Protein backbone atom coordinates (compact mmCIF):
# COMPACT_ATOMS: atom_id res chain seq x y z
CA UNK A 1 0.00 0.00 0.00
CA UNK A 2 1.14 3.53 -0.73
CA UNK A 3 0.01 6.80 0.83
CA UNK A 4 -1.06 9.74 -1.31
CA UNK A 5 -2.24 13.18 -0.34
CA UNK A 6 -5.18 14.38 -2.40
CA UNK A 7 -5.29 18.17 -2.22
CA UNK A 8 -8.48 20.06 -2.99
CA UNK A 9 -7.95 23.70 -3.81
CA UNK A 10 -10.26 26.65 -4.16
CA UNK A 11 -9.42 27.97 -7.60
CA UNK A 12 -10.95 31.34 -8.42
CA UNK A 13 -10.19 30.84 -12.13
CA UNK A 14 -13.15 28.43 -12.19
CA UNK A 15 -15.43 31.43 -11.74
CA UNK A 16 -17.08 30.07 -8.58
CA UNK A 17 -17.66 31.96 -5.40
CA UNK A 18 -16.26 30.44 -2.19
CA UNK A 19 -18.55 27.75 -0.81
CA UNK A 20 -19.44 30.02 2.12
CA UNK A 21 -21.42 32.10 -0.40
CA UNK A 22 -23.29 29.20 -2.05
CA UNK A 23 -26.96 28.49 -1.44
CA UNK A 24 -27.26 26.25 1.64
CA UNK A 25 -28.66 23.34 -0.39
CA UNK A 26 -25.73 23.50 -2.83
CA UNK A 27 -23.17 23.57 0.00
CA UNK A 28 -24.96 20.65 1.68
CA UNK A 29 -25.01 18.61 -1.56
CA UNK A 30 -21.30 19.26 -2.04
CA UNK A 31 -20.47 18.24 1.54
CA UNK A 32 -22.65 15.11 1.34
CA UNK A 33 -20.93 14.08 -1.91
CA UNK A 34 -17.49 14.44 -0.30
CA UNK A 35 -18.61 12.61 2.85
CA UNK A 36 -19.93 9.72 0.72
CA UNK A 37 -16.52 9.36 -0.96
CA UNK A 38 -14.82 9.46 2.44
CA UNK A 39 -17.18 6.79 3.83
CA UNK A 40 -16.39 4.52 0.87
CA UNK A 41 -12.67 5.01 1.55
CA UNK A 42 -13.17 4.19 5.24
CA UNK A 43 -15.17 1.08 4.34
CA UNK A 44 -12.50 -0.08 1.86
CA UNK A 45 -9.68 0.51 4.36
CA UNK A 46 -8.03 3.14 2.15
CA UNK A 47 -8.84 6.16 4.36
CA UNK A 48 -6.08 7.62 6.54
CA UNK A 49 -7.52 11.07 7.30
CA UNK A 50 -8.87 14.20 5.71
CA UNK A 51 -10.40 17.53 6.51
CA UNK A 52 -12.00 20.54 4.91
CA UNK A 53 -10.16 23.69 5.93
CA UNK A 54 -11.46 27.06 7.04
CA UNK A 55 -11.54 29.87 4.51
CA UNK A 56 -8.43 31.86 3.65
CA UNK A 57 -9.67 34.81 5.69
CA UNK A 58 -8.70 32.80 8.80
CA UNK A 59 -5.29 31.71 7.49
CA UNK A 60 -1.99 32.94 8.92
CA UNK A 61 1.37 33.12 7.17
CA UNK A 62 4.42 32.42 9.36
CA UNK A 63 7.99 33.30 8.33
CA UNK A 64 10.96 32.61 10.59
CA UNK A 65 14.72 32.79 10.23
CA UNK A 66 15.12 30.59 13.33
CA UNK A 67 16.91 33.31 15.27
CA UNK A 68 14.39 36.10 15.75
CA UNK A 69 10.70 36.17 16.55
CA UNK A 70 8.63 34.81 13.68
CA UNK A 71 6.68 37.25 11.54
CA UNK A 72 3.00 36.27 11.50
CA UNK A 73 0.61 37.93 9.06
CA UNK A 74 -2.90 37.34 7.88
CA UNK A 75 -2.93 35.22 4.78
CA UNK A 76 -2.99 34.23 2.12
CA UNK A 77 -1.44 36.73 -0.19
CA UNK A 78 -4.16 38.64 -2.06
CA UNK A 79 -2.67 37.73 -5.44
CA UNK A 80 -3.16 33.99 -4.78
CA UNK A 81 -5.52 32.47 -7.32
CA UNK A 82 -5.51 28.99 -5.82
CA UNK A 83 -5.91 28.22 -2.12
CA UNK A 84 -5.93 24.93 -0.21
CA UNK A 85 -9.53 24.03 0.72
CA UNK A 86 -9.00 20.55 2.16
CA UNK A 87 -7.23 17.26 1.84
CA UNK A 88 -7.61 13.50 2.00
CA UNK A 89 -4.79 11.15 2.91
CA UNK A 90 -5.35 7.72 1.40
CA UNK A 91 -3.39 4.47 1.55
CA UNK A 92 -4.02 2.71 -1.75
CA UNK A 93 -2.61 -0.04 -3.94
CA UNK A 94 -1.43 2.25 -6.75
CA UNK A 95 -1.13 5.72 -8.21
CA UNK A 96 -3.97 4.79 -10.57
CA UNK A 97 -6.29 4.26 -7.59
CA UNK A 98 -5.27 7.62 -6.08
CA UNK A 99 -5.98 9.29 -9.43
CA UNK A 100 -9.37 7.58 -9.61
CA UNK A 101 -10.27 9.00 -6.19
CA UNK A 102 -9.01 12.45 -7.20
CA UNK A 103 -11.18 12.37 -10.32
CA UNK A 104 -14.25 11.71 -8.18
CA UNK A 105 -13.31 14.56 -5.85
CA UNK A 106 -12.87 16.86 -8.87
CA UNK A 107 -16.40 16.08 -10.03
CA UNK A 108 -18.01 17.21 -6.75
CA UNK A 109 -21.18 19.20 -7.34
CA UNK A 110 -21.13 22.96 -7.16
CA UNK A 111 -23.91 25.54 -7.42
CA UNK A 112 -26.91 24.11 -9.22
CA UNK A 113 -25.48 20.58 -8.91
CA UNK A 114 -23.09 20.86 -11.87
CA UNK A 115 -19.69 19.16 -11.37
CA UNK A 116 -17.08 21.74 -10.38
CA UNK A 117 -14.15 20.26 -12.30
CA UNK A 118 -11.61 21.42 -9.73
CA UNK A 119 -7.91 20.78 -10.29
CA UNK A 120 -6.99 18.19 -7.66
CA UNK A 121 -3.34 17.70 -6.80
CA UNK A 122 -2.17 14.16 -5.99
CA UNK A 123 1.16 13.73 -4.23
CA UNK A 124 2.80 10.58 -2.95
CA UNK A 125 4.12 10.55 0.61
CA UNK A 126 7.91 10.72 0.38
CA UNK A 127 8.52 7.99 2.98
CA UNK A 128 6.52 5.51 0.90
CA UNK A 129 8.37 6.53 -2.25
CA UNK A 130 11.76 6.02 -0.58
CA UNK A 131 10.68 2.95 1.36
CA UNK A 132 11.58 4.46 4.74
CA UNK A 133 10.22 6.64 7.52
CA UNK A 134 11.26 10.29 7.34
Q: How confident is the model at residue 77 (pLDDT cuts 50, 70, 90)?
A: low
Strand order in the sheet with 2-11: 47-52, 82-92, 2-11, 120-124
- Boundaries of every domain in the chain: 2-130
DSSP secondary structure code for residue 70 in this structure: P
What's the pLDDT score for residue 12? 77
Q: Which residues contact 60 (CB under 8 A, 6 or more apart)?
A: 72, 73, 74, 75
Mean pLDDT of 34-61: 92
Q: Tell me the Cα Rg of the chain.
A: 17
Evaluate if residue 91 carries a pLDDT over 90: yes
pTM attached to this predicted model:
0.85
Q: Are 111 and 16 in contact (CB under 8 A)?
A: yes
Task: Give residue 81's pLDDT band: very low, low, confident or very high (50, 70, 90).
Answer: low
Superfamily of domain 2-130: Dimeric alpha+beta barrel (3.30.70.1060)
- What does the pLDDT look like over 21-32, one tens digit per residue? 899 999 999 999
Amino acid sequence: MTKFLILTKYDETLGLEPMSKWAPEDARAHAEYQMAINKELVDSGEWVEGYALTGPELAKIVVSDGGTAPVITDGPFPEAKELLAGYQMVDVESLDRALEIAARVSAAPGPGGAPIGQRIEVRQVMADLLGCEL
